[in-house]
Amino acid sequence: MEDILSRFERMLGWVPQWLVGVGLVVGAIVVALFVYGIAARIIKRALGMRWPAVTLLLQRVAGPARLALCLVAVALVLPLAPLNDVLGQQLRHFFIVAVIALIGWITVRAVDMGAARYLQRFRLDTDENFLARKHVTQVRVFKRVLDTLVVIIAVSTALMTFESVKQYGVSLFASAGAAGLIVGLAARPLLSNLIAGVQIAITQPIRIEDAVIIENEWGWVEDIASTYVVVRLWDWRRMVVPLSYFIERPFQNWTRDTQSLIGAITLHVDYCTDVSRIRQRLEQAVGDSKLWDGAVVNLQVIEASPRSIELRALVSARSAPQSWDLRCEIREKLLAFIREEMPEAFPRERALISPPLADFSGTFEHDDARSPPVPARARS
């Protein structure tokens, strides 16, 4: 290698030494990328058809593998490159920072691949997917917390390789006091959300694809990030909520223990309504619906006002969307039944009309047989 370099120096004697050294480093990087491309193609052709997982693995590790080969090539060429002290020191420092970045990158990819491998055993596209949603929620939250910690550690380690930053950090830690208080107050929202994410992963008040009601909005938990939660609302909007919200404030979770829900349908009918006929029609309509899970169907008189009575029908479904659709379907069928077969069940206004008592005073005093008292008239 030294003979080859000496020959190149004699041939390119007119070129500055630092430019030759930089060219060697760049050439080593180009050769490393070329070698990686050839090796990746050979591996895909030899093993990709028999083991598809190998192709997926190559795609996942492509970036770190390229960087690792480039760093190996630079490490081999850098001691032989004719560089002055200043430029050589800068390239060595850059090499150290690149190694730190490579270690962090490999750690993040290893965590992602491990999480993906673990979650392959669970499916979210089934009806009874509580165990899957539990593990998906835990793994995603922990993975993002670990990714955040790895990035913070890697960036901090890389910055500490710079003398100016190191001295600043030492002086900052030495001063503590007000500076530490300011930094702590500024980082409080981030730290509180990170801690809330760990709490949610452990206690799991919410999971992926849970049906929740937040701020009078109904939707599904679409994603749980390291500091926030994305809720997919029923009209396809997205609500972004801090993680600390689910620890500090109350909310409704419709699928905490089971996906089945009971829906209520309220009707106002007249006092002369035959409730038993409406109950029979309710049972028939629910039995004919594909949305009913066969668990709950009931009709009760829950209120009686001066003008009407209030009926409440309870029906159950396998999930929150099916419960909503079932309620709308049964309400429509009951209204059609009342309109077509029981029109007397519609609420009506009743009034008792009679003359004032002053109009009867003369009749009561004179007791005229030819003028009998005027009877009260009722009209509905």
Q: Is the pLDDT of residue 183 over 50?
A: no
pTM: 0.54
180 band by pLDDT with thresholds 50, 70 and 90: very low
pLDDT tens-digit map of 229-247: 999 998 899 999 988 888 8
Domain 162-255 class in CATH: mainly beta
What is the fold, at CATH topology level, of the domain defined by 261-342? Alpha-Beta Plaits (3.30.70)
| Domain boundaries of the chain, sorted by first residue | 14-122+129-161, 162-255, 261-342
Residue 5: band (very low, low, confident or very high) from pLDDT cuts 50, 70, 90: low
Share of the chain above pLDDT 70, in %: 74
pLDDT band at 81 (very low <50, low <70, confident <90, very high): low
Highest mean pLDDT among 2-11, 21-30, 116-125, 343-352: 343-352
Average the pLDDT over 73-81 and give the result. Answer: 75
Rounded Cα–Cα distance for residues 81 and 165 (Å): 29
Where does the pLDDT of residue 185 fall: very low under 50, low under 70, confident under 90, or very high at 90 and above?
A: very low
Residue 379 has pLDDT above 50, yes or no: no
What spatial distance separates the first Cα and last Cα of the chain, rounded to whole Å?
Answer: 112
Is 261-342 in the same CATH topology as 162-255? no
